[in-house]
Amino acid sequence: MDLVKAIIIAIIEGLTEYLPISSTAHMGFTASLMGLEETEFLKMFQVSIQFGAILAVVVAYWKKFFDFSNLQFYYKLAVAVMPALVLGFFLDDAIEAVLGNQIAISTVLVLGGVVLLFADSWFRNPVIHNEKGLTIKKAVTIGFWQCLAMMPGTSRSAASIIGGMTQGLSRKAAAEFSFFLAVPTMLAVTVYSVFVKTWGKDTAMPRKGYEMIMESQDHILVFAVGNIVAFIVALIAIKSFISLLNRYGFRPWGWYRIFVGVALLIYFYYFK
């Protein structure tokens, strides 16, 4: 993977990580359309550049993340992330097996789009308009909703936002808590993929993520630039999404998912 293609994938990650359209699906489709071989480094890169997107949330909401007088905020994030950490650990191999199945991911993209078409009409009367009104029980419930995104193509953002709205949060409050929850969730995923997970366990050369990064100057450059690009693009996308969500709701994203999903189903079924 050359630097230009890595930058393109990082732009896709930054644009889609916090939108309800599945960054995993879009990165996978992009890599496939560019003709990239599905190597262990590519799979690790697509997971690890989420670190840049994590930093974008921290910077965008730095007052929230560094308000140490509000310990309840950190406690809510801690309990909300636990379901994903536990289930993600046990389902890691199953999740990785689906990552290369573009037909399955495209199908999930379409089905998720159908759900988004009706999401606004299902939750018309929110009673919670900021994170302070969120109870611990509701935070844990949102954490379980987030676990639906373990199926590639679902969208972590969509699952956690809709999960928040089922608990009475407004669209804006649900989106912001989804952003906050992304930080411990994706930080754990990134650390696991780079330092803990052994990639290519069934190959002749199994390696840790950091070993693949450090094996060449090109890999170090691709990893560093990918995270920087993902950070910059995600920082722009976060604020834009809140504004668009308040103005138009979920329907445009639902139609987008359906259109792209159907187009990709046709492409991967008939032309790949």
> What is the three-state SS of 161-217?
HHHHHHCCECHHHHHHHHHHHHHHHHHHHHHHHHHHCEECCCCCCCEEHHHHHHCCH
Q: What is the pLDDT of residue 269?
A: 82
Helical H segments across the chain, by residue range: 3-16, 23-33, 40-48, 50-60, 62-65, 71-90, 92-99, 102-122, 136-146, 156-166, 171-191, 209-214, 217-248, 251-270
162-211 pLDDT, tens digit per residue, is 999 999 999 999 999 999 999 999 999 899 999 999 998 888 889 999 99
Burial category of 150 from C-beta neighbours within 10 Å (exposed 0-12, middle 13-18, buried 19 and up): middle
Averaged pLDDT for residues 223-249: 91
Each residue's pLDDT tens digit, 189-199: 899 999 999 99
Give the whole-angstrom CA distance, residue 23 versus residue 154.
9
The whole-number pLDDT of residue 202 equals: 80
Task: Please tell me the predicted confidence (pLDDT) of residue 52.
Answer: 93
Question: Which residue has better confidence, 94 or 194?
Answer: 194
Average pLDDT of every residue of the chain:
91
pLDDT confidence of residue 152: 85
With a pLDDT cut of 70, the percent of the chain lying above it is: 99
* 271 pLDDT more than 80: no
Looking at residue 170, its pLDDT comes to 93
Q: In this predicted structure, what is the pLDDT of residue 45?
A: 96
What average pLDDT score do residues 29-58 get? 92
Q: What is the pLDDT of residues 96-114, one digit of tens each?
A: 777 678 888 999 999 999 9
Digit-coded pLDDT (tens) for 60-90 = 999 999 998 889 999 999 999 999 999 988 8
Asked whether residue 265 carries a pLDDT value surpassing 80, the answer given is yes
pTM of the model: 0.90
Separation of alpha carbons 251 and 116, rounded Å: 6
Residue 53 near residue 229 (C-beta atoms within 8 A): no
pLDDT score at 151: 87
Task: Read off the pLDDT of each residue in 242-249 and give the average, rounded to a whole number.
Answer: 86
pLDDT at residue 245 above 90?
Answer: no
pLDDT category at 7 given cuts 50, 70, 90 is very high
Q: How far is residue 27 from each of residues 73, 140, 153, 162, 270, measured CA to CA in Å? A: 31, 29, 10, 23, 21
**pLDDT over 90 (residue 46):** yes
Residue 157 pLDDT grade (very low, low, confident, very high; cuts 50, 70, 90): very high
